[in-house]
Amino acid sequence: MIKNATVLTVTKGTLTNTDVLVSGGKISRIGKGLNAPNGVQEIDATGKFLMPGIIDAHSHIALSAVNEGTSQVTSEVQMGDVIDPFDVSIYRALAGGVTSTHALHGSANVIGGESETLKLRYGSTNPEDLKFENAPRTIKFALGENPTRGGRSRGIQPSSRMGVEAMLRNSFTDAQAYRAKWNAYKADKNPRKIAPEYDLRMETLVDILEGRVLVHCHSYRADEIYMLMKVFADFGITKLTYQHANEAYKVAPELAEFGAMASVFADWWAYKLEVYYSTAYNATILTRNGVTTSINSDSGELIRHLFHEAAKTQKYGDLTDEEALSLITLNPAKQLGIENRVGSIEVGKDADLALFEGHPLSVYAIPVMTFVDGVKYFDRANDIKDQRIYVNPEQAVENVTIFNREDQHRCMDTEVVSFEALFSNNK
């Protein structure tokens, strides 16, 4: 039981001097002066702030591989296959109050792989333990420079933005034909019928057509954001969240009308040509236009202070505390389809909680404890330096740089290992 905290519920306002009782991994009671049942551990949170665990809707931590960049449509691959529970970035994220991440495929492909929503249960050796049980399936798409650069370097489609749209339309048209073939087979009463070829790539695309998979699309420019809505409208696909979407503010009313959501950076841009026309008011403009918006990290470093990233929307755009906090809690939960489980402090929801010294939207905020399913995974008072789960007995301790370019741009590029890279100190 967390005693006497300022509870930032996100959905039901701010409750002062309030206790939150957790049992069986769920929030079971919220109120003033609660009596803890026998044997329940009490945490005195007087003067501290309790918020829902932060959710990062765009992350590539905890993955052994990010891109299968050899083909521009890889809807058959699954990030759930390559979860790396040993990634120390998971602990660093927990130390920033983060309890869930959306582990996305990279942006090398027009249609990348299925992503995996994770709960940061650090310490397990079993990748399955990190999966957010029963979270909806999601998939990564990508528009613009990244997939066209990959296409051009391999001499395959797409080499232009037009090619990206053509690949999307071709893929879904193929999927419709595939579905028709299988439906005909299933309807066939002939006992000696022969099944059509099975194609996992097409299976996933059919699931997207039928609304069983939420699409998260890497995008920057307003024209291509608008293009994808037209393509999806033509194929009857409705579940869509734009990732990065630096120019989404230009088409905010259109997004709202379509029901598309957006997950953006607070103030990060100009790292390539298509990302120049950007503004720190993006999240605010989208929010004011009724678009469900989140702020993400796409980085093993930014993920440690997403609460600061959210606070930037108060400097640029004057969002209320609740709106700003929603950007990193309830809204990303909605974008991942897990808002019935997490994203706010309500009775019955998962006890994924972050305790702060100082208001989390203040520059003086310090995360002090982080809980996933009521289990404490981070405690600033007991913060062991060496958090590695597996250690290589033959290796000297590796250099640790939390901020490095490789991490920053991990989702942007396909991984190419070259001989030169083996001898470069700046990997």
Going by C-alpha positions, the residue among 280, 306, 422 that lies closest to residue 367 is: 306
- Residue 134 interacting with other proteins (CB under 8 A): no
Half-sphere exposure of 241 (CA within 13 A, CB side): 28
424 makes contact with other proteins (CB under 8 A):
yes
Q: How far is CA 240 from CA 163, 262, 284, 329, in A?
A: 21, 9, 19, 18
The span of 5-13, 33-41, 197-205, 326-334 binding other proteins (CB under 8 A) equals: 197-205
DSSP state of 318: -
Is 405 a binding residue for other proteins by CB under 8 A? The answer is no
194 part of the interface to other proteins, by CB under 8 A: yes
Choose which of 145, 174, 199, 346 interacts with other proteins (CB under 8 A).
Answer: 199
Residues 264-291: b if buried by 16+ CB within 10 A, e if exposed = bbbbbbeeeebbeebbbebbbbbbebeb
Distance CA(315)–CA(313), nearest Å, equals: 5
Q: Does 70 bind other proteins (CB under 8 A)?
A: yes
- Among the candidate windows 38-46, 236-244, 313-321, 382-390, which touches other proteins by CB under 8 A? 382-390
Residue 425 makes contact with other proteins by CB under 8 A:
yes
| Rama region for 68: left / alpha / beta (φ>0; ψ in -120 to 50; rest) | beta
Interaction of residue 400 with other proteins, rule CB under 8 A = no
Which of 52, 69, 343, 367 forms a contact with other proteins (CB under 8 A)?
Answer: 69
**Contact between 154 and other proteins per CB under 8 A:** yes
Region 71-130 residues binding other proteins, contact defined as CB under 8 A: 71-74, 76-79, 81-82, 84-86, 105, 113, 125-128
- With a CB cutoff of 8 Å and minimum separation 6, the contacts of 30 are 7, 9, 15, 18, 19, 20, 21, 345, 346, 347
The residue among 140 and 221 lying less far from other proteins, judged by its C-beta, is 140
Question: Rounded to the nearest 10 degrees, what angle do helices 200-209 and 161-187 cross at?
Answer: 90
Which of 198, 364, 381, 382 is close enough to bind other proteins by CB under 8 A?
198
Q: Is 41 in the site for other proteins (CB under 8 A)?
A: no
Told to check if 364 binds other proteins by CB under 8 A, we report no
User: Judged by CB, which is closer to other proteins: 194, or 363?
Assistant: 194
- Rounded to whole angstroms, the Cα distance separating 195 from 381 reads 61
- SS3 of residue 50 by DSSP: strand
- Peptide bond connecting 158 to the previous residue in cis, omega within 30 degrees of 0: yes
Angle CA 52–104–171, to nearest 5:
135
Task: Quote the least distance from Cβ 87 to other proteins, whole Å.
Answer: 11
Specify the residue, 28 or 71, whose C-beta has the smaller distance to other proteins: 71
Comparison of 86 and 226: residue with beta carbon closer to other proteins: 86
- Pick the binder of other proteins from 16, 38, 46, 392 (CB under 8 A): 392
197 touches other proteins by CB under 8 A: yes
Q: Which is nearer to other proteins, 144 or 150 (CB)?
A: 150
**Residues 6+ away with beta carbon under 8 Å from 407:** 299, 300, 301
In this chain, which stretch among 28-36, 63-71, 244-252, 332-340 interacts with other proteins, using CB under 8 A? 63-71
Q: Which stretch binds other proteins (CB under 8 A): 8-16, 288-296, 365-373, 386-394?
A: 386-394
Work out whether 209 is an interface residue with other proteins (CB under 8 A).
no
377-413: burial string, b at 16+ Cβ within 10 Å, e else: bbbeeeeeeeeeeeeeeeeeeeeeeeeeeebbebbbb
Planar angle of CA 299, 304, 309, nearest 5 degrees: 80
Under the binding rule (CB under 8 A), the answer on residue 397 touching other proteins is yes
Q: Which residues contribute to the site for other proteins (CB under 8 A)?
A: 64-65, 67-74, 76-79, 81-82, 84-86, 105, 113, 125-128, 154, 156, 192, 194-195, 197-201, 385-386, 388, 390-397, 415-425, 427
